[in-house]
Amino acid sequence: MSRPVSTLFLATVVALAACSPENSELLAPAIGPVLAASAANKTPSSVSLVKIGGFANGGVGASEIPAYDEVSKRIFVVNGALGSVDVYDAQNPTAPMFVERFTFSGGANSVAASKGVVAVAVQAADGVSNGTVHFYRATTLEKVSVVTVGALPDMLTFSASGRTVVVANEGEPNRDYSIDPVGSVSIIDVSNINKPTVRQVGFDAFNGQAAALRASGVRIYGPNATVAQDFEPEYVTISDDESKAWVSLQENNALAVIDLASATVSQILPLGFKNHSLAGNGLDVSDRDNAINIRTWPVFGMYQPDAIGHYTANGQTYIVTANEGDARDYIGFAEEARVSTLSLNTSIFTSAICGGTCNAASRLGRLTVTNTLGRNPVTGLYDALYVLGARSFSIWTASGTLVYDSGDQLEQLTKNLSMVNFNASNTGNTADDRSDNKGPEPEGLVIAKFGEKTMAFIGLERVGGVAVYDITNPTAPIYQSYINTRTGATGDLGPEGITFVPANRSPNKEPLIIVGNEVSGTTAIFQVKLNY
């Protein structure tokens, strides 16, 4: 997970919504990806976004993860600068009003809401001990209960019924890697919100399978780490029938499948690597070539998804991933390297392939890769290069087979539209600034269904904005629209968390998208425009 300001990140709330007169029946989250079940009604020909409101929450890091509660008509926002959750009255979504602030000694990482209940994931003060989840009444803002979960609870989501909360406990090491807690998943029964109960799901059963997991493509590479220590759960989506959950293991480039009834891990699904030498999979690799140069290169991409979601098409469940990418960067262990610092096998990385010396600054030299993959142990040379993230969103079967990847479309999108500066950073407005490292960096994701069409809304953390795709056909998504509300180096910068509000739960009876922008500390409210 990318944390330019804090260890805070996305949270997802899922709630079942009945069909409104305007839209289909929706299974809607308070943040993050969501399956939206259809009750066929009017189907739009296209979908776009228009900003109708928002608020500044206090500067850099002050808005990361938003959640919306339909009972109280309030927005709850993780304030990373203060480690708090800030509460806003959104009865008028064009002008939300501040209500209250929840503070925590360890700092809030995530928030979710369902049916008048708010859940907040809070890390321990030292970051490596077990964290907690706090439950509040959305209308009275009364804290009703607290439970202990695993180390560094970084994202949590309600099931559709609201009876279960699933928590991704990332279990990151401390800075010098002297303490490396295990990653885990907590399943919380909130049928009685006054006395919730917790079952803990760990990965100890896989400790003897490290070699086989690596051979399958799962990354296990932390210094002296067991499999359970190395796995770092990032994000959760829960199946419609609440029987299972898929969990992204971002650094490990894999998904875990959790059986919720037995509280066990049923599968680890390696995601494999994207071949950037294939047509349509290009990328711009240099921030020093003074040009937009999206082309194929002899490198591989690790998908490493942050936000994930699921939906149903033709009776089958599909997983959608925002392929952000993330490196381990600690005092005790750091994997990022520029290609120019590595010794390449020049019989593989030839001038003919790169259009010149491969490790030159205008070619691959500036590109950030992992130093943990691709090195030949006999020659000491790198026979292959692996970049962090895939600069795309992907669609997979429920068993982890890739059926679609957006290739280089997101980078091409920010190249061709006038309202953005190509591959600009979220902290400035210099064009090409992030070409050497993850490009537009897709991070947030939310899914909703309108009539017979399913739409994915994808937040681009670096260049900013939200791209909209029609994913009704999982093998052939169609680009719909893109909105970016940054103004050069100001405006909404660094979209982190995204939440969808269906029309029948919305304060203005229109479907909304709410985005927390970490770098600017602003929360943006968009109305979903359904074009018929």
pLDDT band at 3 (very low <50, low <70, confident <90, very high): very low
Q: Does pLDDT of 213 surpass 60? A: yes
The pLDDT value given to residue 417? 78
Residue of 524, 509, 530 whose CA lies nearest to 21: 509
Using CA atoms, how far apart are residues 529 and 511, in angstroms rounded to an integer? Answer: 8
pLDDT digits (tens, 9 = 90+) for 463-507: 999 999 999 999 999 999 999 999 999 999 999 999 999 999 999
161-177 burial by CB neighbour count: b if 16+ within 10 A, else e?
ebbbbbbbbbbbbeeeb
Structure tokens at 428: 């400035």
Alpha helices by DSSP H, 361-423: 409-416
Structure tokens at 193: 């919100």
Which distant-in-sequence residues (6+ apart) come within 8 Å of 63 by Cβ? 57, 77, 78, 79, 80, 496, 516, 517, 518, 520, 521, 522, 523
Indicate the SS3 state at residue 307: coil
Using CA atoms, how far apart are residues 338 and 368, in angstroms rounded to an integer? Answer: 5
Of the chain, the end-to-end C-alpha distance in Å amounts to 38
Q: Which segments of 142-260 are extended strands (E)?
A: 143-151, 153-158, 164-169, 184-189, 197-201, 233-238, 244-249, 254-259
Any idea which of 88-102, 263-277, 355-369, 418-432 has the lowest mean pLDDT? 418-432
pLDDT band at 419 (very low <50, low <70, confident <90, very high): confident
Using CA atoms, how far apart are residues 63 and 112, in angstroms rounded to an integer? Answer: 14
Partners of 295 in beta bridges: 283
Q: Could you give the C-alpha distances from 408 to 386, 387, 412, 444, 469, in angstroms and in order?
A: 16, 14, 6, 18, 14
**What is the rounded average pLDDT of the residues 404-414?**
96
Residue of 525, 518, 526 whose CA lies nearest to 59: 518
Q: Does pLDDT of 110 surpass 90? A: yes
Any idea which of 59-68, 89-98, 284-293, 419-428 has the lowest mean pLDDT? 419-428
Q: pTM for this structure?
A: 0.92
Q: Does pLDDT of 28 surpass 80? A: no
The pLDDT value given to residue 321? 98
Ordered by start, the domain boundaries in the chain are 14-326+389-531
254-275 burial by CB neighbour count: b if 16+ within 10 A, else e?
bbbbbebeeeebeebbbbbbbe
Using CA atoms, how far apart are residues 297 and 348, in angstroms rounded to an integer? Answer: 12
Indicate the SS3 state at residue 208: helix
Of the CA atoms within 13 Å of residue 34, those in its CB half-sphere come to 33
Q: Does pLDDT of 222 surpass 50? A: yes
| Residue tagged 């259009």 (tokens) | 355
**What is the rounded average pLDDT of the residues 288-315?**
97
Residue of 41, 47, 38, 42 whose CA lies nearest to 16: 38
* CATH fold label, 14-326+389-531: Methylamine Dehydrogenase; Chain H (2.130.10)
Residue 214 host element (H or E): helix 210-216
Which distant-in-sequence residues (6+ apart) come within 8 Å of 314 by Cβ? none
**What is the rounded average pLDDT of the residues 229-240?**
98
Sheet containing 402-405: give its strands across.
308-313, 316-322, 393-397, 402-405
Q: Does pLDDT of 63 surpass 80? A: yes
Structure tokens at 306: 């942050």
Task: Please state the length of the chain.
Answer: 532
